[in-house]
Amino acid sequence: MSTAPRPTARPVGFAILSILLGVVGWFASFELLTEYIKTLQSPSHVPNCNISVLVTCGPNMGSWQGSILGFSNTIIGVSAFVAPIAIGVALLAGARFNAWFWRLYQLGLLGGFVLVCWLQYQSVFVLGTLCPWCMVAWVAMIPLWWSGLAHPYATGAIPLSLRGRRFFRSLNSWIWVIVLVNFFIVAAIAQFQLNWFAEFTRG
C-alpha cells in the first residue's frame, strides 16, 4: 500500500472566481481599449459607453488620469487581468504555488486595487463622471483583491502561525460581506458627490 501523502483538495471555488472576475475585468478593459482606438482614429466617434453627461467614458479616456504611465490605462487592464485567469486555470489543473509566488501575486493585486481606488477618486471628485466600463473593471478588481488577500493565508499556501491562520480563515469566510461593504462605500461616496441615483431614475 502506498504511503504517499494525500493531496489537498483543489481550491475550485477560488479558482473559478478568479477566472470569472479576470474575464469580466479583461472584457471591460478590452472594450475601453477598443473605444479608445476608435476615438483616436476618428475624433468624432462617440464611444458606446457615453450614455449621459454623468455616465460617460469620453472625459476619462481623454484625461491625463486615463494615461498615467504615458499610455492608456486600458492597456494595463488588458494585460493585468490575464493574471487571475491564468492562475485560476492553473489551480483547476492542480497547480500548487510557492509562498513567494502568492506574495508576488498579492503585490500585483494590491497595485491594481490602489490604482482602482485612485481612479475612483479622480472620477468622482475631479472629473465628475462615472465611466460604465471602468465601473465594471472596479467590480472585478475589488473582490479579486480581497479574496486574493485572504485565500493564501487561510489555506496555508503562505505559512502562518496557528492563530494567524485562524484569523485569515475567519476573514475568508466574511469576504463577500467585506466586498459588499466596499461596493456600498464607493456607491455612497459617488451618490453624495454626483447624485448618480437621480441620473439612473430620471425618466
pLDDT tens-digit map of 99-145: 999 999 999 999 999 999 999 999 999 999 999 999 999 999 999 99
* Within a domain: 36: yes
* Within a domain: 1: no
* Within a domain: 4: no
- CATH assignment of the domain containing 181: 1.20.1440
Distance of alpha carbon 17 from alpha carbon 22, whole angstroms: 8
Per-residue pLDDT, 73 = 92
Q: Average per-residue pLDDT in the chain?
A: 90
> How many structural domains compose the chain?
1
Domain around 50:
12-194
Does pLDDT of 3 surpass 50?
A: no
123 and 129 in contact (C-beta within 8 Å)? yes
* Within a domain: 7: no
Query: pTM of the full predicted structure?
Result: 0.89
Kindly state the percentage of the chain with pLDDT values over 90.
69
Lowest-confidence region among 39-43, 125-129, 139-143, 196-200: 196-200
Per-residue pLDDT, 93 = 95
Residues 147-160 have a mean pLDDT of 94
